[in-house]
Amino acid sequence: MNANELRSKTPSELEETLQELLKEQFNLRMQQGTGQLARPHMMGEVRKNIARVKTVLNEMQSGDAS
């Protein structure tokens, strides 16, 4: 997932994507807590994707998106 892909989505689609990523982050944290996390690198990837979605949403709200 990159920022250019996210910019082509509507704000409602971005909100939906954000909710899915937050659920995924929660599930990964639960797996980590129980020692069942098979791919620890996914924690960082999901966190960065959440930041990308929030950044694009903020750009759209402030009118800076081109």
What's the pLDDT tens digit per position in 17-54?
999 999 999 999 999 999 999 999 999 999 999 999 99
pTM of the model: 0.89
- Asked if residue 59 has pLDDT above 60, the reply is yes
| Structural domain for 50, as ranges | 3-60
Cα–Cα dist 3/55, whole Å: 9
Determine the pLDDT at residue 64. Answer: 66
Per the structure, the count of domains in the chain is 1
Phi, psi of 41 (to 5 degrees): -65, -20
The answer to whether residue 47 is domain-embedded is yes
State yes or no: pLDDT of 66 exceeds 60: no
In sign, the C-alpha dihedral spanning 40, 5, 14, 55 is positive
Q: Check which CATH number belongs to the domain holding 46 and give it.
A: 1.10.287.310
- Is residue 20 assigned to a domain? yes
pLDDT at 9: 95
> Is residue 37, in this structure, part of any structural domain at all?
yes
In a domain, 32, yes or no: yes
Residue 27 covered by a domain: yes
- 66, part of any domain: no
- Contact of 1 with 52, CB cutoff 8 Å: yes
